[in-house]
Amino acid sequence: MKPFFEKLFGFDSAKHNVRTEILAGITTFLTMAYILAVNPSIFSALDGMPGGAVFTATALAALIGTLVMALYAKKPFALAPGMGLNAFFVFTVCLGMGYSWQFALTAVLLEGILFIILTVTKVRSWLLNAIPGTLKKAIGAGIGLFIAFIGLQNAGIIVNNDSTLVGLGKLTEGTALLGMIGLFITAGLVMAKVRGGMLWGILITSVIGLFIKDPTTGEAITKFNGVIALPDSVSPIFCQFEWHHILTLDMLVVVFTFLFIDMFDTMGTLIGVHQGAGLADPNRKKDDIPDMEKMFLADSIATVCGACLGTSTTTTYVESASGVGEGGRTGLTAFSAAICFALALFFSPLFLAIPGAATAPALIIVGVMMMPAVKNIHWDDYCKAIPAFLTIIMMPLAYSISDGILIGVISYVLCHAVAGKFKDISITMWILAALFICKYIFI
């Protein structure tokens, strides 16, 4: 069996463990399963996109993309329709600009095709290699803070505050209480080096959620609504493209925006998780993340498939870090996550019963695991320290991996230019900084 795994998933029996890889895949799935509930909710704002069909499309897009990542790239990353990208689809393109959801799906399809072209021509790898090592390390730490912030929000530990933007939730009740209980349970399991500690933490916290009520509704936080349900058909939204606007300026802007966010979110996720998990070779200046083109291609193929199925841009999920944190290192981790998405099609009531407060502790702990990257940043060199700090801090504050990278690149070029260190700025970085500034001015 192990030689079969080696060929199919890049599994090395001398380095990897089957049980660890499977548990890591399940953990990854559980930390990102919220998209199966969130995506239909977001698309419910649009007429003609039934929630059941969007749920099925979301699960199928995640299944296909993650399988390609597992079998072709042989990496431990899972994919699904991206948060932020789905909001841009619904609230900006459709409700803001007034275009139909068919127009937006067409833009996603075109973006995916361009994504494939950029990957095959290795333009994306060229962009990756152009990013200085300091920023790559900062990206890892920034993503750690970002996903920890997501976890704190999901648990209600950090909440909206109209006066200060964010504030501390009420820790003695509801989801915040469950999140805090889950955090210390999960932390205890991880510190005790229990195999699959984060997964066990998610499951135990979910069970405890049956006995803790949400103060606003009076209902248990973990809602058990059955086990099995047949998936809805995607026929109402399958391949519903609209071609008569493809040569317009608006289509160009929408496609470019989808491509821009998708490309740099994926790039940031792959760099950050590799850096945080120690998977990148620190002694190599270029191509320090092996098989990057294959991972990019899996991402772009998933976007095209997702558009055909009827959902927004499919991208590599930063929550994959939770599985990597559990020891996932090969395509078997991604394959296990893909199987979970397949099962979710038929066991959606059971999977959707896991509350965000139960998965939040895993995200917070993964954030801790990704922070050691900052120790390799030259904090005494302000030309490097300032861009690195801005990259790290802007990801959680702007709620965007891509914005963190963009501002990091711009500040890197400006800081070195102001200091007169022009020889440390490559032509590629000058071009990227100019393009990123134009993005903020015109888009």
Q: What is the pLDDT of residue 443?
A: 67
Residues 6+ apart with CB under 8 A from 231: 52, 55, 56, 59, 345, 346, 348
Long-range contact list for 127-130, CB < 8 A, 24+ apart?
A: 127/263, 127/267, 127/428, 127/432, 128/267, 128/271, 128/289, 128/292, 129/286, 129/287, 130/426, 130/428, 130/429, 130/432
- Distances from the Cα of 298 to the Cαs of 128, 212, 269, 292, 368, in angstroms? 17, 41, 14, 10, 28
Q: How confident is the model at residue 1 (pLDDT cuts 50, 70, 90)?
A: low
Which range is least confidently modeled, 87-96, 201-210, 333-342? 87-96
Q: How confident is the model at residue 301 (pLDDT cuts 50, 70, 90)?
A: very high
Query: Crossing angle of helices 18-32/356-369, nearest 10°?
Result: 120
Count, residues in the chain: 443
pLDDT tens-digit profile of 241-290?
Answer: 999 888 888 888 889 878 878 888 888 888 878 766 666 655 554 445 67
pLDDT tens-digit profile of 29-64?
Answer: 998 888 888 888 889 889 999 988 999 999 999 999
Q: What is the pLDDT of residue 277?
A: 63
Q: What is the pLDDT of residue 287?
A: 42
Q: What is the pLDDT of residue 286?
A: 44
Q: How far apart are CA 304 and CA 157, in angstroms?
A: 37
Residue 38 is encoded by which pair of tokens?
A: 């969130």
Question: 129 or 316, which is more confident?
Answer: 316
Beta strands in 90-164 (DSSP E): 158-161
Q: What is the pLDDT of residue 60?
A: 96
Smallest CA-to-CA distance from 241 within 307, 179, 161 is with 307
3-state secondary structure of 79: strand
pLDDT, mean over the chain: 88
pLDDT (mean) for 400-413? 90
The answer to whether residue 162 scores a pLDDT higher than 70 is yes
pLDDT tens-digit profile of 374-385?
Answer: 888 999 999 999
Q: What is the pLDDT of residue 226?
A: 81
Beta strands in 335-386 (DSSP E): none
DSSP secondary structure string, 12-31? -TTT--HHHHHHHHHHHHHH
Q: How far apart are CA 370 and CA 166, in angstroms?
A: 23
Q: What is the pLDDT of residue 29?
A: 92
Q: What is the pLDDT of residue 437?
A: 93
Do 114 and 262 touch, CB atoms closer than 8 A?
no
**Which run of H or E residues covers position 80?**
strand 79-81
3-state secondary structure of 165: strand
pLDDT (mean) for 53-77? 94
Q: How far apart are CA 361 and CA 363, in angstroms?
A: 5
Q: What is the pLDDT of residue 416?
A: 96
Q: How far apart are CA 45 and CA 437, in angstroms?
A: 32
- Phi-psi label, residue 291: left if phi above 0, alpha if psi -120 to 50, beta otherwise: left
Domain ranges of the chain: 2-135+221-351, 378-443
